[in-house]
Amino acid sequence: MTITPDPARGAEVFADDRAYVFHSWSAQKALKPMCIAGAEGSYVWDFDGNRFLDFSSQLVNVNIGHQHPKVVAAIQEQAAKLSTIAPQHANEARNQAAKRIVELSGPNMAKVFFTNGGADAVENAIRMARLHTNKHKVLSAYRSYHGNTGAAIVATGDPRRWPNEYAAQHVHFFGPYPYRSEFWSSSPEQETERALQHLEHVIQFEGPNTIGAIILESVVGTAGVIVPPPGYMVGLRALCDKYGIVWIADEVMAGFGRTGEWFAFQNWAAQPDLIVFAKGSNSGYVPVGGVVISAEIAATFDERVFPGGLTYSGHPLAAASIVASIDAMKEENIVANAKAIGENVLGPGLRALADRHPVIGDVRGLGVFWALDLVTNRETKEPLAPYGGTSEAMGALVNACKARGLMPFTNFNRMHVVPPCTVTEDEARAGLAILDEVFAEIDKYYVG
């Protein structure tokens, strides 16, 4: 990769951003966004020529790496052939994308409804579940993020929900979280048993005849990369079957290789009814999302109108990028690479960091999807930043990473280690070496 610094252009980009762009999830006045000039593979760089190893995958979506030539070429070829068409017409790219996704999704899956992103995929999955079951309530976990639209943000469990609670008939429950158990569990097996008992009690007290869907991130993403303990997903499937509830697997962040499987739920012997996807399906090269629909639920709408649609549903450029991404991931064994990097490099490397740095209270993850739970005291598990907030220590952590050429992903008291699925062993080890230096600085905030 060739990087040509252009600080003057970078200053112009920054000035125009501050003059004209309104940023998400932010008070606008104090923002100082990094101005990105280019990217390739596992790296991004700014206009000053500073290069960063991307351990964030941006918003944990660049699974196939930046500027993958096969995906870029597919978008270019599709633009020359058919740039856009209304969704009521069939188009070849959409057909091929849907076919590939269905084939990866499991034996009971039949069709794909395409959306513009993950949030509106969640909206439509909830709509499908309610219409299919004729039941209105939706259950979701407190530690979750499902998007920033009407029902999706209310299904969300984190503090971004609080100023946006306008959708109705949503109920939250506690999912399993062995490190910070809500159930006073002393083992992963006990956590599973008690978390499932809690969920069943919520179902019983809310009324099974009122609950249309349970939506759950197969591996919790932004809220902490929380991997469900053994037996939980199988137990969730059994509860949904027992009470006639649709299981919506939110695979927006965890899907398409991130955990070392095509879909995260495939790490366990349990199959959902609806699968929500977006980010990793094409690494965000063109905005896209969708719902994979089981044959049973799809049949509900054979004679009944589905009351939902989007102008850009199955947009040809987005669909072509999905086809190229899936094909490249197969040809280049990218999903297997993610699994191997997790098992052989990131997992052992992060646990070794925890042995050396007391501020790391817990290490958890799969594939290239990991989180470090950071604490000031390992005995009390006091977080390094408060729930819903940040701290001087977390700010110092981010700055120390960037100063050493690492782009981090942090949330509250956690650092997420989430490089592209294409990351090499050398790149992963280079990132771990940087983190070792960074935590040597951050350990001073440990007081336990």
- Are residues 325 and 352 located together in one domain of the fold? no
> What 3-state DSSP class applies to 39?
strand
The one-letter code for the residue type at 106 is: G
Annotate 228-288 with DSSP letters as a single string. PPTTHHHHHHHHHHHHT-EEEEE-TTTTTTTTSSSSGGGGTT---SEEEE-GGGTTTSS--
Question: Which structure tokens are listed for 20?
Answer: 């004209």
Radius of gyration of the chain measured on its C-alpha atoms: 22
* pLDDT value for 2: 84
- Are residues 362 and 287 located together in one domain of the fold? no
* pLDDT value for 1: 75
**Crossing angle (nearest 10°) for helices 316-331 and 92-105:** 40
Mean pLDDT of 105-117: 97
Q: For residue 409, give Cα distances in angstroms to 54, 58, 142, 441.
A: 9, 8, 21, 18
Q: What is the pLDDT of residues 120-147, one digit of tens each?
A: 999 999 999 999 999 999 999 999 999 9
- Are residues 377 and 430 located together in one domain of the fold? yes
* pLDDT value for 249: 98
Instruction: Identify the CATH number of the domain in which residue 360 sits.
Output: 3.90.1150.10
- Are residues 52 and 182 located together in one domain of the fold? no
Q: Is residue 188 scored above 90 in pLDDT?
A: yes
Q: What is the pLDDT of residues 346-401, one digit of tens each?
A: 999 999 999 999 999 999 999 999 999 999 999 999 999 999 999 999 999 999 99
The one-letter code for the residue type at 427 is: E
Q: Is residue 237 scored above 90 in pLDDT?
A: yes
How many C-beta neighbours within 10 Å does residue 7 have? 12
Provide the residue range defining the domain that includes 150: 69-331
Mean pLDDT of 2-29: 96
Q: What is the pLDDT of residues 271-308, one digit of tens each?
A: 999 999 999 999 999 999 999 999 999 999 999 999 99
Instruction: Identify the CATH number of the domain in which residue 85 sits.
Output: 3.40.640.10
Q: What is the pLDDT of residues 244-269, one digit of tens each?
A: 999 999 999 999 999 999 999 999 99
Examine residue 41 and state whether it is found in any structural domain, yes or no.
yes
Q: How many domains does the chain have?
A: 2
* pLDDT value for 448: 87
Q: What is the pLDDT of residues 397-425, one digit of tens each?
A: 999 999 999 999 999 999 999 999 999 99
Q: What is the pTM of this model?
A: 0.97
- Cα–Cα dist 419/365, whole Å: 13
CB 377 within 8 A of CB 447: yes
- Are residues 324 and 275 located together in one domain of the fold? yes
Examine residue 1 and state whether it is found in any structural domain, yes or no.
no
CB 296 within 8 A of CB 138: no
